[in-house]
Amino acid sequence: MRLAVLISGRGSNLRSILESERKGSLGKAIVSLIISDKRDAKGLKYSKEYNKKAIILESNSYNSREEYDNQLLKVLHEHDIDLIVLAGFMRILTPFFVNKFINRIVNIHPSLLPAFPGLNAQKQALNHGSKISGCTVHFVSEEVDVGPIILQRAVDISNDDTEESLSQKILKHEHEILPLALKLISEGKISIKERNIIVEE
Protein backbone atom coordinates (compact mmCIF):
# COMPACT_ATOMS: atom_id res chain seq x y z
CA MET A 1 0.00 0.00 0.00
CA ARG A 2 1.65 3.20 -1.23
CA LEU A 3 1.27 6.13 1.18
CA ALA A 4 1.54 9.86 0.63
CA VAL A 5 2.08 11.73 3.88
CA LEU A 6 0.99 15.38 3.81
CA ILE A 7 2.56 17.83 6.27
CA SER A 8 2.69 21.53 7.05
CA GLY A 9 5.03 21.77 10.02
CA ARG A 10 7.49 19.89 12.20
CA GLY A 11 6.56 16.44 10.93
CA SER A 12 6.74 14.49 14.20
CA ASN A 13 3.94 12.16 13.13
CA LEU A 14 5.64 11.74 9.76
CA ARG A 15 8.78 10.70 11.59
CA SER A 16 6.85 8.14 13.67
CA ILE A 17 5.47 6.62 10.46
CA LEU A 18 8.89 6.51 8.80
CA GLU A 19 10.47 4.99 11.90
CA SER A 20 7.75 2.32 12.03
CA GLU A 21 8.42 1.49 8.38
CA ARG A 22 12.16 1.27 9.06
CA LYS A 23 11.51 -1.13 11.95
CA GLY A 24 9.19 -3.26 9.82
CA SER A 25 6.10 -2.49 11.89
CA LEU A 26 4.03 -0.64 9.29
CA GLY A 27 2.50 -3.79 7.79
CA LYS A 28 2.24 -3.69 4.01
CA ALA A 29 2.37 0.10 3.91
CA ILE A 30 5.30 2.04 2.47
CA VAL A 31 5.79 5.80 2.38
CA SER A 32 6.13 6.60 -1.31
CA LEU A 33 5.81 10.37 -1.14
CA ILE A 34 5.94 13.29 1.29
CA ILE A 35 4.08 16.47 0.33
CA SER A 36 4.31 19.80 2.13
CA ASP A 37 2.25 22.91 1.50
CA LYS A 38 5.01 25.01 3.10
CA ARG A 39 8.56 25.33 1.76
CA ASP A 40 9.95 25.89 5.25
CA ALA A 41 8.17 22.96 6.93
CA LYS A 42 10.68 21.45 9.35
CA GLY A 43 9.34 17.96 8.65
CA LEU A 44 10.84 18.03 5.16
CA LYS A 45 14.20 17.15 6.69
CA TYR A 46 12.92 13.60 7.24
CA SER A 47 12.72 13.02 3.48
CA LYS A 48 16.54 13.11 3.39
CA GLU A 49 17.00 11.23 6.65
CA TYR A 50 14.80 8.36 5.47
CA ASN A 51 15.56 8.64 1.74
CA LYS A 52 12.01 9.51 0.66
CA LYS A 53 10.83 11.67 -2.21
CA ALA A 54 9.38 15.02 -1.14
CA ILE A 55 7.38 17.53 -3.15
CA ILE A 56 6.50 21.07 -2.12
CA LEU A 57 3.14 22.43 -3.27
CA GLU A 58 2.98 25.91 -1.77
CA SER A 59 -0.50 27.24 -1.06
CA ASN A 60 0.23 30.76 -2.22
CA SER A 61 1.25 29.52 -5.67
CA TYR A 62 -2.38 28.76 -6.54
CA ASN A 63 -5.38 31.03 -7.04
CA SER A 64 -7.96 28.88 -5.26
CA ARG A 65 -8.44 25.80 -3.10
CA GLU A 66 -9.83 24.01 -6.13
CA GLU A 67 -6.78 24.79 -8.24
CA TYR A 68 -4.48 23.60 -5.47
CA ASP A 69 -6.42 20.37 -4.94
CA ASN A 70 -6.44 19.63 -8.67
CA GLN A 71 -2.64 19.87 -8.72
CA LEU A 72 -2.45 17.74 -5.60
CA LEU A 73 -4.63 15.08 -7.26
CA LYS A 74 -2.39 15.11 -10.31
CA VAL A 75 0.74 14.53 -8.21
CA LEU A 76 -0.92 11.72 -6.21
CA HIS A 77 -2.07 9.92 -9.34
CA GLU A 78 1.36 10.28 -10.94
CA HIS A 79 2.83 8.43 -7.97
CA ASP A 80 0.11 5.74 -7.81
CA ILE A 81 -0.82 6.61 -4.23
CA ASP A 82 -3.23 4.24 -2.49
CA LEU A 83 -3.74 6.05 0.83
CA ILE A 84 -3.27 9.68 1.90
CA VAL A 85 -2.15 10.43 5.46
CA LEU A 86 -2.77 13.90 6.85
CA ALA A 87 -0.06 14.33 9.48
CA GLY A 88 -0.34 17.92 10.63
CA PHE A 89 -1.49 19.11 7.20
CA MET A 90 -3.17 22.44 7.89
CA ARG A 91 -5.29 22.78 4.76
CA ILE A 92 -8.94 21.80 4.55
CA LEU A 93 -9.43 19.64 1.49
CA THR A 94 -12.30 20.42 -0.88
CA PRO A 95 -15.27 18.01 -1.09
CA PHE A 96 -14.26 17.36 -4.71
CA PHE A 97 -10.85 16.15 -3.59
CA VAL A 98 -12.18 14.06 -0.70
CA ASN A 99 -14.62 12.26 -2.99
CA LYS A 100 -11.84 11.43 -5.43
CA PHE A 101 -10.08 9.58 -2.57
CA ILE A 102 -13.13 8.64 -0.52
CA ASN A 103 -12.25 6.24 2.33
CA ARG A 104 -8.59 6.55 1.36
CA ILE A 105 -7.64 9.61 3.42
CA VAL A 106 -6.63 9.24 7.07
CA ASN A 107 -6.19 12.06 9.59
CA ILE A 108 -4.81 12.30 13.14
CA HIS A 109 -6.58 14.74 15.49
CA PRO A 110 -5.58 15.71 19.06
CA SER A 111 -8.87 15.05 20.83
CA LEU A 112 -11.32 12.25 21.42
CA LEU A 113 -13.63 13.01 18.54
CA PRO A 114 -16.43 13.95 18.24
CA ALA A 115 -15.34 16.19 21.13
CA PHE A 116 -13.36 19.30 20.22
CA PRO A 117 -13.05 19.19 16.43
CA GLY A 118 -11.19 21.84 14.47
CA LEU A 119 -8.25 23.97 15.56
CA ASN A 120 -6.80 24.29 19.07
CA ALA A 121 -8.40 21.08 20.33
CA GLN A 122 -6.17 20.98 23.43
CA LYS A 123 -7.14 24.53 24.37
CA GLN A 124 -10.80 23.67 23.81
CA ALA A 125 -10.51 20.71 26.19
CA LEU A 126 -8.85 22.81 28.91
CA ASN A 127 -11.36 25.63 28.56
CA HIS A 128 -14.19 23.12 28.82
CA GLY A 129 -12.79 21.74 32.06
CA SER A 130 -12.43 18.20 30.68
CA LYS A 131 -10.69 15.58 32.82
CA ILE A 132 -9.85 13.35 29.84
CA SER A 133 -8.68 14.10 26.34
CA GLY A 134 -6.67 12.12 23.79
CA CYS A 135 -6.24 11.57 20.09
CA THR A 136 -8.18 10.07 17.21
CA VAL A 137 -7.25 8.50 13.89
CA HIS A 138 -10.16 8.72 11.49
CA PHE A 139 -11.09 8.54 7.84
CA VAL A 140 -11.64 11.96 6.27
CA SER A 141 -15.07 12.96 5.02
CA GLU A 142 -16.36 16.16 3.43
CA GLU A 143 -17.03 17.69 6.86
CA VAL A 144 -14.07 18.52 9.10
CA ASP A 145 -13.22 15.95 11.81
CA VAL A 146 -16.43 13.92 11.58
CA GLY A 147 -15.30 10.95 9.48
CA PRO A 148 -15.49 7.35 10.76
CA ILE A 149 -13.18 6.71 13.71
CA ILE A 150 -10.44 4.10 13.35
CA LEU A 151 -8.51 4.26 16.64
CA GLN A 152 -8.52 6.43 19.75
CA ARG A 153 -6.27 6.78 22.78
CA ALA A 154 -7.24 8.62 25.97
CA VAL A 155 -5.04 10.66 28.31
CA ASP A 156 -5.83 12.16 31.72
CA ILE A 157 -5.84 15.93 32.09
CA SER A 158 -4.15 17.13 35.28
CA ASN A 159 -5.20 20.26 37.14
CA ASP A 160 -1.86 21.88 36.32
CA ASP A 161 -1.84 20.96 32.62
CA THR A 162 -1.27 23.76 30.13
CA GLU A 163 -2.03 23.71 26.43
CA GLU A 164 1.63 22.84 25.80
CA SER A 165 1.88 20.06 28.41
CA LEU A 166 -1.39 18.50 27.28
CA SER A 167 -0.24 18.69 23.64
CA GLN A 168 2.93 16.79 24.55
CA LYS A 169 0.98 14.11 26.44
CA ILE A 170 -1.32 13.59 23.48
CA LEU A 171 1.46 13.71 20.88
CA LYS A 172 3.19 10.72 22.46
CA HIS A 173 0.08 8.65 21.82
CA GLU A 174 -0.43 10.08 18.33
CA HIS A 175 3.00 8.67 17.45
CA GLU A 176 1.79 5.22 18.49
CA ILE A 177 -1.74 4.95 17.12
CA LEU A 178 -1.21 6.54 13.70
CA PRO A 179 1.36 3.97 12.51
CA LEU A 180 -0.76 1.21 14.07
CA ALA A 181 -3.83 2.36 12.16
CA LEU A 182 -1.87 2.42 8.90
CA LYS A 183 -0.57 -1.08 9.59
CA LEU A 184 -4.09 -2.40 10.20
CA ILE A 185 -5.45 -0.72 7.06
CA SER A 186 -2.58 -2.00 4.90
CA GLU A 187 -3.16 -5.55 6.13
CA GLY A 188 -6.88 -5.37 5.34
CA LYS A 189 -7.88 -5.55 9.01
CA ILE A 190 -9.62 -2.17 8.95
CA SER A 191 -11.98 -1.12 6.19
CA ILE A 192 -15.06 1.04 5.79
CA LYS A 193 -18.53 0.35 4.47
CA GLU A 194 -21.32 2.91 4.46
CA ARG A 195 -19.45 5.06 7.00
CA ASN A 196 -19.04 2.13 9.38
CA ILE A 197 -15.64 0.73 10.33
CA ILE A 198 -15.23 -2.99 9.66
CA VAL A 199 -12.65 -4.79 11.80
CA GLU A 200 -11.30 -8.15 10.64
CA GLU A 201 -9.91 -10.56 13.23
- pLDDT tens-digit series, residues 41-54: 999 999 999 999 99
In whole angstroms, what is the distance from residue 168 CA to residue 139 CA?
23
pLDDT at 195: 63
- Mean pLDDT value across residues 84-95: 95
The catalytic position among 77, 109, 173, 175 is 109
| Residues with Cβ within 8 Å of residue 96, at least 6 apart in sequence | 66, 69
pLDDT tens digit sequence for 17-39:
999 999 999 999 999 999 999 99
**In this model, does residue 194 exceed pLDDT 70?**
no
- Phi and psi at 45, nearest 5°, equal -60, -25
Residue bearing the bigger pLDDT, 165 or 201: 165
Domains observed in the chain: 2-199 (3.40.50.170)
| Residues with Cβ within 8 Å of residue 108, at least 6 apart in sequence | 13, 86, 87, 88, 135, 136, 137, 174, 177, 178
- Mean pLDDT value across residues 73-100: 96
- Phi and psi at 191, nearest 5°, equal -145, 180
Active site (annotated) includes residue 128: no
What pTM value is reported for the model? 0.93
**In this model, does residue 1 exceed pLDDT 70?**
yes
**In this model, does residue 108 exceed pLDDT 70?**
yes
- DSSP structure class, residue 117: -
pLDDT at 201: 59
